[in-house]
Amino acid sequence: MSTSAPSRKLRYRPPVTLPYLLSRSAGAVFAIWGALTIVFLALNLGGDPASSLVSPSASVEDIERVRRLYGYDQPLLVQYLIFFKNVATGDFPNSLRYATSPMALVFERFPNTLILALCGMSLGTVLGLAIGYASAFAKHWMLREIPMAVVMALQAFPPILLGVLLVLAFSIKLRWLPSAGGGSPLHLVLPSLTLGIYVAPAIARVFRTSILDVQNADHVRTALAKGVSPRMVRLRHVAANALIPVLNQIGLQLGAMLGGAVVVETIFSWPGIGQLAVGALNNQDFPVVLASVSFVAIVFVLVNLLVDILSAILDPRQRSVQ
Amino acid sequence: MSGPVLDVQGLVTRLDGSAGPIIAVNGISFSIGPGECLGIVGESGCGKTMSAMSIAGLLPEGGFIAEGRIALDGVDLASLSPDARRKFRAEHIGVVFQNPATALNPRMNIGAQLREALPLRGDAANRRAAELLDMVGVPRAWDRLVDFPHELSGGLAQRVVIALALARSPKLLIADEPTTALDVSIQTQILDLIDAFRRDLQLAVLLVTHDIDVVADRAQRVAVMYAGNIIEEGPTKALLNDPIHPYTAGLLASTPNKVSPGTVLNPVEGAPPSLANPPSGCRFAPRCALATAQCELTLPAASIAADGRMFRCIQPLSKTNRLPDPPIDVVARLPAASRVPLVKSEAVSRSFILSRHLVTRAPLKQRQAVAGVTLEIFEGESLGVVGESGCGKSTLARLIAGIDHPTQGRIIYRGQPLSDLGSGRRQWRRDVQMIFQDPYSSLDPRMTIGEIIAEPLSYNGLAKAERRKRAAALMDEVGLSQELIDQRPAQISGGQRQRVGIARALSQDPKLIIADESVSALDVSVQATILNLFRRLQRERGLTYLFISHDLNVVRYMCDRVAVMYLGKLVELAPTDALFRNPAHPYTRALLASIPGAKMMGERLRGDLPSPDQPPAGCRFHTRCPQRQVICESIEPSLEHLGGGISVACHYPVSRSQTHKKKLENQQTSSPYKEERNMK
């Protein structure tokens, strides 16, 4: 009866197309190049790096020695190329302070940042999505209004204040959790909580707005007319579609966190990459600054690339945009 | 099978919104039997969609059924628990919505959306889904299951929506303006499809539409709604030929297709009342030419006419009680158009570059929206341009208006190319004015009506007080009350907004007015008053019109000559009468056969418009042409004059092809038509 002979399998369509992957990756490479160039220029246009590397009392010969050692005597263009070679090989000049390879320092610290960012982000995402969903769909008005209001109020707290308050309550008053440092899962709780509470409101708000938008879409009515149960309509046709803009929000926040949540890492003395970069800046440890900032820029771009790919998987319309 | 599929008695639907409670549907009753189609017509805001959605259980938030009984297949819906009621409806009612582009979930592929509607799982569900797609005429159904909605054309998407509606083999199909968003050719295909299912599956169909012509073709019975009530209901033929209610008669007199060309439209003035605060008596009384003091006292009860029709009116139309004729000044004939060309487009083309090479920046993909169109507009005439969307008619209008510039060819104004106009350019800018489609978005919401109309005048160097006086005079001329001069666009109706657009165009004392779908967004009665206004202005000011429209009935009513475009090409140009009576190009012929309410027989348009990015070689129409020959696939026909002002671009124009067809039939024994088509 059917003219389309019932072949066994449906035509396979990859969730992301190769042209899309290639064009996004090309964009990412371009973004990394731009970010690294800015890092390079920012460090080199601020005056002679060599004279700020040595102690103020150093002799002219000392300065000249440092300059040659780090290649600052070369023309800017050569330095620029060397910088890119360093990034590509991960082989930066040794740290001035720790006298080791800066990349080793970065790789030592990065897992800490990664763990904190993932914990904080997961917490914030779960919290934000739950609150956003409840604020749009909960039957009782209290569930719709109160969590959203609380979270909005919390958004007004800067993370530094929030962090200090949490330390006061849970470490000093209750003595349940360590106030600072790393090493055990318990150390992770307060900083994650601070980060989670910090990102949850934005996610909750974007999700809520998005849900209310999608709810009025024509296709929701079609789904109801088909006889899909109201619960499935909410989950599959409203909430899932509403996730698309939320994903972008999550990507931005996660990217920023992987760059080292500097404030939070400082409050809790969390040995992450943000702390490393700030310390290096204060000590004028330029190789470490360069290495960590370059690394963070690349991670940021890669996270956003990942989010682009994920959102293309979630939203097929984006795939056909090249 | 006995008894109606759907029986509605005294249905009252209330909407509790932010603006207070509204009775959207005010006690309507009707029934539909198996295999029957009931059409609901009326202007927007009269409760048509609300009635349909009440039955389907898809009311917007705040909407609920306050009174009445809906029986589906003999089961009173109110007797079921909410959950059982939902399931019962899903089982028995299929719904087709207005806009196929938004009616499908953009995140899910078609197969997934179809499977959701099926009680099957796994492979069986896929096979059934493909069967359904096949049934509604989606080609390569199995492959299409993994396609996403945005990859489908509007026509295909609407077929998918119909497949969804039929997935559970419902008894009732509710179609809410199923073709309003579609081109006329696609419209016919979709309505044919619904018709076929109605017959074959004995479906009861509830067809909601603003288009009386659609109802005339498709429905066995019609219910006319006005302000939440059904004011007349009965067999289609009787109701349309011999309306009882003055509102029905007014709607018909507003429909260009229902009056013979040359006569005048006699629309109902005004707009339906707000449902938040309806008149206490007959709701139509304030707009009714026959209303008496009695009419304003009570809502007329339902009466039954001799032929069994239901109506609600105490002044029913009869031989002695007729609507007054339209005012005489509207009727006066227009002077014949001259043969002096005002504007000429000379082999005009417009290409849009869609993508460029990454390095060389050389154009990779181009869309030729207008491809070598030569066209004269004579002073004092109305020239209509028609064609499916994507045929380039709006681009041509923009080129002639000088808003856009041709990539090839030139526009000549009064014998002078635009590029040579020099200081005459200012005058030309004033002489050519444009009126746009959407009266909602084409006016600046922050300006007052007076400011909008007077804005072009400030370029003429008029003082402010003088400008205001001129604006007021122009408002008078287009039939806008001067009290509106300080209002803003959001405070006035769609028809009034379109009048503002016209007044603004008139402020420059133009010679040529380009109306790009200027009445498409309006209700019929409003559309008719605007069309009448266009005619009056033409007579009084000697205007020339270029009328762009997808609505062939409007063009037929308004225009002296008609240009038909297909994929950027001008395929036929002829005086209106000749074109509608005896179309020469097969495309024109098929287009005319697709008009709802058309008397023209013949093969309708099949399939979708090919992509304008890659038009077919040879004659661009050959892929859809019922009469194509081998030559059509390779050699493009040029526009040839047939005499009588008729030009056509076709190797076998219909007048000639009659003899040709005979020849072809003789040949067919040796070389069947089908094989010839497959050659290449």
Cβ neighbour number for residue B665 with a 10 Å cutoff: 10
A155 to A151, A192, A196, A203, B66: CA distances (angstroms): 6, 15, 11, 11, 44
Q: How confident is the model at residue A102 (pLDDT cuts 50, 70, 90)?
A: confident
pLDDT of residue B87: 92
Token pair, residue A108, equals 């030592």
pLDDT of residue B224: 95
Which one has a higher pLDDT value, A67 or A54? Answer: A67
CA B628, B629, B634, B637 dihedral sign is negative
What is the per-residue pLDDT across B58-70, written as a single tens digit (0 to 9) for each?
A: 998 889 999 999 9
pLDDT of residue B463: 83
- Mean pLDDT, range B103-111, rounded to an integer: 93
Token pair, residue A273, equals 């990459």
Token pair, residue B672, equals 């069947």
Q: How confident is the model at residue A1 (pLDDT cuts 50, 70, 90)?
A: very low
- Mean pLDDT, range B439-468, rounded to an integer: 85
Is A226's CB within 8 Å of B90's CB?
yes
CB-CB contact of B583 with B572 (8 Å)? yes
- Mean pLDDT, range B131-157, rounded to an integer: 90
Optimal mutation site among B92, B113, B142, B365, interface A, most CBs of chain A within 10 A = B142
- Chain A residues with CB-CB distance to B under 8 A? 1-8, 10-13, 217-219, 221-230, 232, 236-237, 240-241, 244, 314-317, 320
Name A15's Cβ contacts closer than 8 Å, sequence gap at least 6: A312, A313
pLDDT at A225 over 90: yes
Antiparallel, parallel or unpaired: β B20-32 and B6-17: antiparallel
Quote ipTM for the complex: 0.82
Highest mean pLDDT among A5-19, A49-63, A113-127: A113-127
CB-CB contact of B558 with B534 (8 Å)? yes
Is B134's CB within 8 Å of A2's CB?
yes
Which one has a higher pLDDT value, B666 or B249? Answer: B249
Which one has a higher pLDDT value, A318 or B231? Answer: B231
**Dist CA B458 CA B466 (whole Å):** 10
pLDDT of residue B594: 85
Cβ neighbour number for residue A321 with a 10 Å cutoff: 8
pLDDT at B122 over 90: no
- Mean pLDDT, range A158-167, rounded to an integer: 80
B286 to B268, B279, B294, B620: CA distances (angstroms): 11, 8, 12, 52
β-sheet with B341-356: strand ranges across: B363-378, B341-356, B408-413, B416-417
In chain A, the largest separation of any two C-alpha atoms, in whole Å, equals 94
**Dist CA B180 CA A226 (whole Å):** 22
Paired with B172 in beta bridges are B93, B204
CB-CB contact of B536 with B478 (8 Å)? no
B39 HSE (CA, 13 A, CB side): 28
CB-based contact (8 Å) between B364 and chain A?
no
What is the per-residue pLDDT across B564-598, written as a single tens digit (0 to 9) for each?
A: 999 999 999 999 888 988 899 999 998 888 888 76
pLDDT of residue A3: 45
Per cent of chain A over pLDDT 70 is: 92
What is the per-residue pLDDT across B604-632, written as a single tens digit (0 to 9) for each?
A: 787 778 887 888 888 999 988 888 888 89
Nearest in space to B534 (alpha carbons), one of B564, B508, B554: B554
**Dist CA A178 CA A127 (whole Å):** 23
Optimal mutation site among A137, A214, A219, interface B, most CBs of chain B within 10 A = A219
Nearest in space to B294 (alpha carbons), one of B277, B278, B281: B281
What is the per-residue pLDDT across A277-316, written as a single tens digit (0 to 9) for each?
A: 888 888 877 788 888 888 888 888 999 899 999 988 988 8
What is the per-residue pLDDT across A195-220, written as a single tens digit (0 to 9) for each?
A: 888 889 999 999 999 999 999 899 99
pLDDT at A72 over 60: yes
Q: Which residue has the tokens 């018909």?
A: B252
Q: Measured at the alpha carbon of residue B497, what is the angle toward residues B491 and B498, in degrees to the nearest 5?
A: 170
pLDDT at B264 over 80: no
Alpha helices in B202-302 (DSSP H): 212-218, 236-241, 246-254
| Nearest chain B residue to A226, by CA | B117
Rounded CA Rg of chain A: 25
pLDDT of residue B229: 92
Query: Domains plus CATH for chain A?
Result: 106-319 (1.10.3720.10)
Q: What is the pTM of this model?
A: 0.83
B580 to B381, B421, B441, B515, B560: CA distances (angstroms): 18, 37, 34, 21, 11
Q: How confident is the model at residue A66 (pLDDT cuts 50, 70, 90)?
A: confident
pLDDT of residue A184: 75
Is B142's CB within 8 Å of A224's CB?
no
What CATH topology corresponds to B6-106+148-311?
Answer: Rossmann fold (3.40.50)
CB-CB contact of B655 with B645 (8 Å)? no
Q: Measured at the alpha carbon of residue B462, what is the angle toward residues B456 and B463, in degrees to the nearest 5?
A: 120
pLDDT of residue A8: 67
Ranking A56-70, B28-42, B172-186 by mean pLDDT, the lowest is: A56-70
* Residue of A10, A224, A244 with shortest CB distance to B146: A10
**Dist CA B376 CA B670 (whole Å):** 45
Name B596's Cβ contacts closer than 8 Å, sequence gap at least 6: B184, B187, B188, B191, B211, B213, B214, B216, B217, B218
Region label for B406, one of left (φ > 0), alpha (ψ between -120 and 50) or beta (otherwise) = beta
pLDDT of residue B677: 35
pLDDT at B550 over 50: yes
- Mean pLDDT, range B379-385, rounded to an integer: 92
Highest mean pLDDT among A94-103, A127-136, A181-190, B425-434: A127-136
pLDDT at B517 over 50: yes
Q: Measured at the alpha carbon of residue B495, what is the angle toward residues B494 and B501, in degrees to the nearest 5?
A: 90
pLDDT at B600 over 90: no
CB-CB contact of B183 with B156 (8 Å)? no
CB-CB contact of B590 with B626 (8 Å)? yes
CA distance A219 to chain B (A): 4
| Nearest chain B residue to A214, by CA | B105
Average model confidence (pLDDT) across chain B? 86
- Let me know how long chain B is: 680
Alpha helices in B586-638 (DSSP H): 586-594
**Dist CA B657 CA B651 (whole Å):** 9
Ranking A32-41, A293-302, B260-269 by mean pLDDT, the lowest is: B260-269
